[in-house]
Amino acid sequence: MRMRHKYRKSSAFHCNAGSPCALLAVVWSLVACTLMVQFYCYTRHDDKVEHPIRLNHRPLTRELEEVEEENFQMPPPRGKRSPRAIKRRGPRRPPSAIDEFLDESSELRNFFFPDRRTAIDPFKEGNNSMYFYPGQQWLDTDGNPIQAHGGGLLYDENSETYYWYGENKDGPTYQAHSGGAARVDIIGVSCYSSSDLWTWKNEGVVLPGEEMNDTHDLYKLNVLERPKVIHNDKTGQYVMWMHIDDVNYTKASVGVAVSDSPSGPFEYLYSKRPHGFESRDMTIFKDDDGKAYLVYSSEDNSELHISSLTEDYLDISQPMRRILIGQHREAPALFKHQGVYYMVTSGCTGWAPNRALAHASESIMGPWETMGNPCVGGNRIFRMTTFFSQSTFVVPLPGLPNSFIFMADRWNPAELRDSRYVWLPLTVGGPVDEPLEYNFGFPVWSRVSVFWHRKWKLPDGWRIR
Ligand SMILES: *[C@@H]1O[C@H](CO)[C@@H](O)[C@H](O)[C@H]1NC(C)=O
Ligand SMILES: *[C@@H]1O[C@H](CO)[C@@H](O)[C@H](O)[C@H]1NC(C)=O
Ligand SMILES: *[C@@H]1O[C@H](CO)[C@@H](O)[C@H](O)[C@H]1NC(C)=O
């Protein structure tokens, strides 16, 4: 069993030199130093006996942590590429595997976006029942591809049912103007329900876009992204937060909607800039104590902000903290494990995939520390592109020790409605890879690992609560 980080980082002593208080401080510092050295020796010893990644003897999750390699051969270079593949956003020139991924005429197209024949179909799988196939089409119980992009899950205690909310992008992909990012008009927020996380029933569009009223936030030519829903135990309401923007992403606001039922319909309330700041990619997080938080990319996506929500979850309140300043992260997915807060984020490169990073903090308000890339397996290109996807949510699995589901989107900017879901096992444990800013060389956080699998399923018994 790995020891957890428990000492505080900055507790300043407020007392005058020469007072008994100062002497006490010195004594306590010595005690603290001794404890730290012991802690250091303990954890170092621990590191030696443990495999860096496959760390446990937990039979339930051993299969999830198998490291699976991926043979990924780049095709020989060709003269011609699709114009879309050439014209892309992003400050740095990414490896050419990403160009290949974004090129709809690539020989590898069917590798990244396998066709309908291999779709996950709850009625045709037979012996493959319950297997997740990251990147393959995923059909609902009506036989239609699931439309819940940039989404998140809610486990509803009342109905003991999972609800998956996401963007319905089942319309034509186009550019609003030359140089604009590929987009689909707002259709609305879709909702699907499931009791096993694999068989999903379409509950319809629970927050529809607005067809006619062009002053409405949800007017079809605007932007609605990353809807997330949490339940307020005090009011009994289901509260949805989402990114609201205009076609050029200059409105940079959050929107709020509310419903008495997890399957809607949701009533749209309003949008605002939290504390007056820009807000683009975002998520919400409900803590064990019933407090909820909004996490959003701000200041031109150069930093994240975390803000408390009001008790009814319908507005933001104080305090607000700026975190990961200057790190340019988006697509935050937050979760909590054994009292520690973790977050996975992506870089900011438009629809193109990039390297994920994991972060940890003892307090949700920070300081947050960056621990490196959580992706394990596949190959280097897979790990540098988050398996060609972007984080959106992390699903807790209370029945499985240290295990979660990492939910990500494999965006298809040539045909956004055909963007795929990449669900993979995420575990917490083992030493982190990168030295940390505040920890004086002590391995205080546990590693967050997302394991690549072409095909995987939750072990039997994951629902034991
Ligand atoms: C499916 O599983 C059953 C029972 O394990 C087995 O008898 C059958 O051969 C399997 N079918 C296929 C196509 O693998
Ligand atoms: C259009 O939307 C705005 C903003 O939500 C609202 O104030 C106005 O009443 C709506 N107009 C109509 C005709 O519904
Ligand atoms: C968005 O940007 C384009 C190009 O700069 C411009 O032509 C258009 O008017 C802008 N639209 C809005 C709604 O701001």
Closest Cα to atom 12, ligand 2: which residue? 213
Mean pLDDT, residues 412-434: 93
Task: Indicate the top mutation candidate among 247, 250, 251 to test ligand 3's pocket, ranked by most ligand atoms within 8 A of CB.
Answer: 247
Task: Indicate the top mutation candidate among 212, 215, 271 to test ligand 2's pocket, ranked by most ligand atoms within 8 A of CB.
Answer: 215
How far is it, in rounded angstroms, from Cα 64 to Cα 457?
A: 8
Q: Which ligand is nearest to the CA of 127?
A: 1
Average pLDDT, the chain: 86
Give the chain's end-to-end CA distance (angstroms, integer). 21
144 CB near ligand 2 (under 6 Å): no
246 CB near ligand 3 (under 6 Å): yes
How far is it, in rounded angstroms, from Cα 243 to Cα 284?
A: 11
406 in Cβ contact with 414 (< 8 Å): no
pLDDT digits (tens, 9 = 90+) for 196-254: 999 999 999 999 999 999 999 999 999 999 999 999 999 999 999 999 999 999 999 99
- Confidence (pTM): 0.84
How far is it, in rounded angstroms, from Cα 342 to Cα 460?
A: 26
| pLDDT for 463 | 82
**Closest ligand 3 atom to the C-alpha of 179?**
4
| pLDDT for 276 | 97
Give distance in angstroms: CA of 357 to centre of ligand 3. Answer: 33
177 CB near ligand 3 (under 6 Å): yes
Give distance in angstroms: CA of 248 to centre of ligand 3. Answer: 6
| Total count of residues recorded for the chain | 465
How far is it, in rounded angstroms, from Cα 43 to Cα 227?
A: 40
Closest Cα to atom 11, ligand 3: which residue? 248
